[in-house]
Structure 1
Amino acid sequence: MSAPDPARSSAAEPARPRRFLIVVPPLVGHINPTVGVAAALVARGHQVAWAGNPELIASLAGPDAKVLDCAVPGAPVVRPAGLRGPGALKFLWETFLIPLAQAMVPGVAAAVEAFAPDVMLVDQQAVAGAVVAMRCGVPWATSATTTAELGNPLAAMPKVDAWVRELLLELEVRNGLGTTAASPRYQRTYGDLRFSPHLVLAYSTAALSGEVEALRETLRYVGPSIAERPTDPEFPWHRLPDERPLVFVSVGTANSDAGASFLQACAEAIADRPHLFGVVADPAAAVPPADNVLTVPHVPQLDLLQRADAAICHAGQNTVCEALYHGVPLVLAPIRDDQPVVAQQVTASGAGVRIRFAHARPAQIGTALDHVLTEPTFAAAARRIGESFRVAGGAAAAADHLESLALA
């Protein structure tokens, strides 16, 4: 089955109410984009349920979200701070992704039996959903919360690529599926559970992430799915000056173990530039404040990016896309996983500057920050990509494609 025709949207052909089951890992950055999609589907009269961690999903999607409990490994996986490259990838798959999938399969299967979905939306890092969808014959779409894998970055490392595919095929076989390696449909979409043969929703656009010929029939860029988030009444908005350029700094919730020294270096670079004002997301309280640097454990990121003039981050897909959505140029210091690929996409688009995370010192960070703030081409490129995001349609466009898949 090919991807739905974008012309077959709900605006042209009202869809009867359908049931959509969203399968997500216990990761904030992977749940957030689907919150907007779920809201768009519910607004159109559809029923939506989630399979995943109830507490985390409820905290992001709201207390009214219908969550079908799905077992996940108890203790969070903490990777050694210095782990990079193939070692980090091996750790991720062997220690987190495959055990997570195996643990989630029974819960996802029970959710499918209880909810009887017409379509499943499955996060790329919750491949248990893909296994169960295939086993039960339910049409499913991939929720690609990172675009790094769309272009198959492991193609340059064929042994690593083959090893990841083998892990996924073994997962299929353990859970009652024959291997899909011989299927032309799966060969076309890289032959693994990360890519639905029906529909791949990517929360970006070609303006940032490029065209992907191998996924031409199934890939639909919808731009960031940004839903309204609760405001933080504790955030000290009164501390932000109106007259100075604002710089937002974050390394994301999953990198606090590796990011303390980097955050401190960023704070020092901003402190050395009294004409700037910085807000540093510092959940570990590792960074001392300065006269022109505000450090807080949590930030209302979307609200803050609306006021920011630049952002320094780890090249996490969500932070990058939310910054560019608001036309904010970036200084990028990728740490591991998909982040180097995302950073390359941003620098190739002209919307940011990349620095080396492990060797970033206040001087290098400050020089890069000065560059993106004073050279107007960076902000212009960020605004161009942000406009492409808005045109792509976001959560509403994703809902259109999911409705079309339900009608197919």
Structure 2
Amino acid sequence: MFVLPPLTGHLHPALALAAELGRRGHVVAWAGPEPVLRPVLGPGALVLPTGSRLFREQAVGGTEAIRTLWQDFVVPYTRFTLPAVRRAVREWSPDLVLVDQHSPAGALAAHEQGVRWAGFAPSAMELGRPPLQPPELAAWQQELLTGLWRRAGLPAAEYTDPRYSARLILAPTAPALLGVAQDGLEMPGGEPLPPHTEAVGPLLTDRPSTAQFPYDRLDPDRRHVLVTLGTLSASVAGDFLLRAGQALTSLADRVQAVVAAPKQVLSKLPDGVVGLPQVPVLDLLRRGVVDAVLCHGGMNTVVEALAHGVPLVVAPIRHDQPITAARVAALGAGVEVDFTAAPATAIRDALVSVLDRTEPRRAAELMSRRLAGLGGARRAADLLEECAG
């Protein structure tokens, strides 16, 4: 049974893992809100409904963004869904529960029922304390987690951090992209990965989609930049996207942009841009029509781009995105720009840098080979089978 938050960046890699497990004869059930999960997972997925809650607006950056994520989403979502997740574990009797680090209800219910559980870390937020993150923030998170444990009625003497399975934590990325002290890219203040963490590389599979992309609008005589800032960034991304639009206007004679953005932003972008509220990112990358990606530094987007050897311009907003952006730059596979303050000229220069120089492309292609060598969905499924015993 998979217990994940209803966020596409968390669901997409898990979808590839579920597909691999299905090919091996296993049955995967998803605990979560049916209206959100169904469009992402497709009609054939087994969904054990939990209900949902509305997301509250998150702070733009810094430690306040982490605090709002936890106090306004992770904790209330856990409390709201725990009764349904408990019922699902009790009635469905899974051999193993895969628990996203931002869905503690799965770990609480599995512990209560004596069911083995493994962790899932599609972002780097909980994998080692990032550099410069104040220790009091970690202590505050622990207070929230122990509070959830008590509220669930579990014995205090048995407490275990529901973010960290004692058996296995799957991370669909590479050590080189994590803000931890290893892999030859040490970051001062970064901590090692938690025990039993396995970085398995990208988890990629075909994804259900009802949207039709207008491939006939892509100009074969221009290079293409994919611009995507993530589902949860839509409310804060408007100004940056307008600056990016200005940058792309100055390159319009040789660069065509494919932009994923809200309709109210798309209407303000220059002519010639292929803009949609949602774009098939993975399909575009697989077709080889993307020459560079401009994104917010979400781990899913970064790993998918690098898995296809595509360099990046990264404008991190919050959470683990600054760490990921710094790693991309350190690897030479991209350029970082300031989400809040970078003028259109700086965004333009960054795009020209990754499009015209050979070094970013070569670094991205090197990372593509390294990511492929980590095993992907096959290795992740092997590890889950071992964990389930």
When normalised by structure 1's length, the TM-score is 0.88
Q: Which of 273, 279, 285 is equivalent to 2:258?
A: 279
1:202 to 158, 163, 171: 171
Q: Compute the displacement of 1:125 (Å).
A: 0.9
Q: Which amino acid aligns with 2:79?
A: Q
The 5 A counterparts of 1:301-316 are 301-305=281-285, 306-316=288-298
Structure 2 SS opposite 1:258: coil
Residues 279-312 of structure 1 show CA distances to partners (whole Å, capped at 9, x for unaligned) of 1112233133434422222111112223211111
Q: What does 1:115-134 correspond to in 2, within 5 Å?
A: 115-134=92-111
Query: SS where residue 265 of structure 2 aligns?
Result: coil
1:94 to 61, 68, 71: 71
Tell me, in whole angstroms, the C-alpha distance in 2 between the residues paired with 1:327 and 1:196. Answer: 32
For 2:162, the aligned partner's letter is: L
Matched letter for residue 293 of structure 1: V
Counterparts of 1:271 and 1:176, CA distance in 2: 58
Aligned with 1:295: secondary structure?
Answer: strand
1:52–1:71 CA contact under 8 A, matched in 2: yes
SS at match of 1:286: helix
Deviations 1:192-248 (A, max 9, x none): 221111100000112333648744640111111111024566311111112221111
Contact kept in structure 2, 1:22 and 1:122, CA below 8 Å:
yes
SS in 1 for 2:373: helix
After alignment, is 34-43 or 57-66 more displaced? Answer: 57-66
Q: Which amino acid aligns with 1:240?
A: L
Give the counterpart letter for 1:135 in structure 2.
E
CA contact (8 A) 1:245 1:275 kept: yes
Letter of the structure 1 residue corresponding to residue 301 of structure 2: T
Please say if 1:350 is aligned against 2:332. yes
1:14 is matched with: none
Aligned to 2:316: 334
Say yes or no: does 1:400 pair with 2:356: no
User: Would the alpha carbon gap of residues 58 and 156 (structure 1) be closer, same or farther in structure 2, given more than 3 Å must change?
Assistant: closer
* CA distance in 1: counterparts of 2:264 and 2:216, whole angstroms: 21
| Mean Cα deviation higher: 315-324 or 212-221 | 212-221
SS at match of 1:360: coil
Name the count of aligned residue pairs. Answer: 376
**Mapped partners of 2:383, 2:201: distance in 1:** 13
Work out the CA distance in 1 between the residues paired with 2:246 and 2:362. Answer: 27
Q: Describe how 1:42-53 pairs up with structure 2 within 5 A.
A: 42-53=22-33
Corresponding residue to 2:247 among 231, 253, 269: 269
Contact 2:172 2:201 in 1 (8 A): yes
Cα 1:361–1:237 shift into 2, 3 Å: same
Deviation at 1:329, TM superposition (A): 0.6
Structure 2 counterpart of 1:176: 153
Q: What residue is the counterpart of 2:186 in the other structure?
A: none
1:54-203 alignment, distance < 5 Å: 54-73=34-53, 75-79=54-58, 83-153=60-130, 156-179=133-156, 192-203=161-172
Q: Tell me the equivalent position of 1:244.
A: 222
Instruction: Give the match's secondary structure for 2:31.
Output: strand
What is residue 13 of structure 1 aligned with on the other side? none
Residue 57 of structure 1: how far off its partner (Å): 1.8
How far off its partner does 1:79 sit?
2.7
Aligned to 2:349: 367
Q: For residue 34 of structure 1, what is the aligned residue in structure 2?
A: 14
How many Å separate the matches in 2 of 1:356 and 1:290? 22
Q: Deviations over 1:101-142 (max 9, x none)?
A: 111111110100111011100111111111111222211111
Corresponding position of 1:6: none
Corresponding position: 1:317 with 2:305: no
Q: 1-side partners of 2:58 and 2:177: how far apart? A: 29
Relative to structure 1, the CA distance from residue 233 to residue 255 in structure 2 (aligned partners, 3 Å threshold; closer, same or farther) is closer
Provide the rounded CA distance (Å) in 2 between the counterparts of 1:238 and 1:360.
32
Change (3 A) 1:133 1:248: same
Distance in 2 between the 1:298 and 1:64 partners? 22
Question: Per the alignment, in what secondary structure is the counterpart of residue 153 of structure 1?
Answer: coil
Give the drift of 1:88.
1.6
Q: Would the aligned equivalents of 2:101 and 2:126 in 1 still touch at CA under 8 Å? A: no
For the residue of structure 1 that corresponds to 2:143, the secondary structure is helix
Q: By how many angstroms is 1:69 displaced?
A: 0.8
- TM-score, structure 2 length as denominator? 0.92
Unaligned runs of 5+ in 2: 184-190
* Structure 1 counterpart SS, 2:385: helix
**Deviations 1:349-383, CA, capped at 9 Å, x for gaps:** 21111111110221110011111112211111111
Question: What's the CA shift string for 1:143-179, capped at 9, x where partnerless?
Answer: 1011243122277411111111111111111112234
Q: Is the 8 A contact 1:120 1:141 kept in 2?
A: yes
Equivalents in 2 of 1:98, 1:352: separation in Å? 35
Structure 1 residue runs of 5 or longer lacking an equivalent are 1-20, 187-191
Secondary structure of the corresponding residue to residue 84 of structure 2:
helix
